A = this chain, B = another copy of it.
Amino acid sequence: ETVEATVDATMDATVDATDRPAADYINGVLAGDRRVIAKTLTLIESRKPAHRDVARQVLDALYPKAGGAARVGITGVPGAGKSTLIESFGMRLLEKGHRVAVFAIDPSSAISGGSLLGDKTRMPRLSFDPRAFVRPTPSSGMLGGVAGRTREAMMVCEAAGFDVILVETVGVGQSEIAVAGMVDFFLLLLVAGAGDQFQGIKKGIIEMADAIAITKADGDNVENARAARDDYAAALHLLRPERTYWSPPVVTTSVYDMESLDAIWEIIQSCVGLLKEHNELDRKRGGQAIDWMLTMVEQRMLERFRDDPAVKGLLDGLRREVADGRVSPELAARRLLSAHWSEMAP
């Protein structure tokens, strides 16, 4: 608490107060100070080279302290009630004595600059509870960059002692794959509806789920939700489960029914427990970390390629010529690489 007080006093409240030494961030995070945690995440999201340097020192120091949380990915189509469920589920976990951090990966924000998610007003109780930490989506960057910063943010919160991490994403594409690659457990939220609404489910998402929860199973909607549960259970039955010891369950849930929220937590715990029992949790996380290392290598090579003026001068023209069939993809790739590599080693 002495550390907290000191750091609080010396760090001012503006976003730009990122010129503190790395030790201030590290100590504040390890002391669990929410203001310092917030500042550290801002530091991580900064693109200024000086900030990147300090961020690297902070992350390198915190990394050995991370890993202690249950990492849960939550996805669902728009309208499935993700925010409402996460708010209620998160509050329920706080009541049970957990410390909960919530992140969101929203690829739409990378494109539009706006955000479907990430607004603190979506989760008012959780956002202002001192036992929780809700972070809006980083507002810019490629999905790879956003996903990378979310991984780093998870690490910071784990080092700060949060023991449940919820990573939310919209069910619109590559972001689920990114989230599935950074969590222990992946929950899919679906909402019951008329026959036509089943069509709204994105390809491949059902198959990544460790469990499916049909939301809004309350009031007049209970029967619909149960029917949807049975339909999805039948559809899941047609797919081979990834692990012999875990068949993804399909349940109905309501934010007005605490038992249904507790059931989700029990499902998560029993799946993670089985992963541990089969020595799969460390292997899963180790594999995710190696994949992430290689993904970063790839991304940075591609970034350097894309930023290369020699490549920029050629790419648009070649894309057109390749799409029209005037230049073969092979020849175009050769031209691009030869321009890039001669630029790198002049």
A interface residues with partner B (beta carbon < 8 Å): 56, 59-60, 63-64, 67, 148, 151-152, 155, 198-204, 206-208, 231-232, 235, 237-242, 285-287, 289-290, 292-294, 296-298, 300-302, 305, 318-319, 322-334, 336-337, 341, 344-346
List residues of chain B with CB within 8 A of the CB of A333. 293-294, 296-297, 300
Copies in the complex: 2
List residues of chain B with CB within 8 A of the CB of A200. 240
- Do the beta carbons of B300 and A240 come within 8 Å of each other? no
- Do the beta carbons of B301 and A319 come within 8 Å of each other? no
> Complex Cα distance A204/B180, Å?
15
Q: Give the contacting residue for A329; candidates B290, B300, B324; CB below 8 A.
A: B290
- Do the beta carbons of B287 and A240 come within 8 Å of each other? no
Q: A204-B207, A290-B329 are in contact. List 6 more A-B contacts (CB 8 A).
A: A56-B334, A203-B240, A204-B204, A290-B322, A298-B302, A300-B337
- Nearest CB in chain B: distance from A96 CB, A: 27
Whether A59 contacts B287 in the complex (CB less than 8 A), given A240-B203, A293-B322, comes out as no
- Do the beta carbons of A238 and B235 come within 8 Å of each other? yes
- Nearest CB in chain B: distance from A249 CB, A: 16
Of all chain B residues, the one with the shortest Cβ separation from A328 is: B63
Among A199, A328, A332, residue most surrounded by chain B Cβ atoms (within 10 Å): A328
